[in-house]
Amino acid sequence: MPENKRLLRTEMLLGREGMQKLKDATVMIVGLGAVGGYALEAVARAGVGHLILVDFDVFDESNINRQILALGSTIGRKKTEVARERVREINPDCRVEIVDMFVNAETLPALLERKVDYVIDAIDALNPKCCLMEELYNRGIPFVSSMGAALKSDPSCIRCAPLSSSKNCGLAKFIRKRLRKRGVNISSITSVFSDEQANLPDTAIQMFETAAPEGRARNTMGSLPTITAIFGLTLANYVIKRLSGYGIKSGYGIKE
């Protein structure tokens, strides 16, 4: 029986060797919002031994509908600090490093000097996301990326598959086009996306916000906590299986 009863059920499934691989692993999560927060929750509870958490933002009241780390008590606080506190409550043995950083072409080289086994890309802004994906690809660092979860409502349409097979996702379309121009083989990139055909409802509230300190204003779209949670958990599930070696056949997740 494992010494740490918190991880007992995980070890019963993955085995001692698989559990040890998770404990020895370093996972970086970039973006701690609606998708990244749930990815963090899962990898922390699964027993990953070292986490590097990257975000530049603070919690706002508008985050509460879909972000697991957003509570009345965390509004106005840095996402990285709140995330670190939660991980320590879940698994005190986990080593947590936080990086308060806006990801762009200038900041990425220093960020990726760290040795990591896997990166979870949960950024929702196009330019930083493309910069991160391109840099990870060029450096040969294993990663999995979330595509757009907004305007989606059907959980059965969520896929974990090569980026080249994504469809009905505006964000993925822009990313595919941009990365191809930069010489990235998009068939080699694993992504989580929904192939649901989404339509902007007539009742949608139109809001505009700045995506980042130096980003462009963008139209904010509605989202459900159920969908963003499944996106994040699917990202985490993929990484947990890849790191532990459990049940790896084709290498992809819930549906292909």
Torsion of CA 135, 79, 158, 219, to 10 degrees: -90
Cα(246)–Cα(253) distance, integer angstroms: 12
Cα(163)–Cα(172) distance, integer angstroms: 7
Where are the domains positioned within the chain?
5-244
The architecture of the domain spanning 5-244 is: 3-Layer(aba) Sandwich (3.40)
Residue 70 buriedness (CB in 10 A; 0-12 / 13-18 / 19+): buried
175-187 pLDDT, tens digit per residue, is 999 999 999 999 9
Q: What is the reported pLDDT for 247?
A: 82
67-115 pLDDT, tens digit per residue, is 999 999 999 999 999 999 999 999 999 999 999 999 999 999 999 999 9
Cα(37)–Cα(31) distance, integer angstroms: 8
Q: Look at residue 101 and give its three-state secondary structure.
A: coil
Residue 51 buriedness (CB in 10 A; 0-12 / 13-18 / 19+): buried
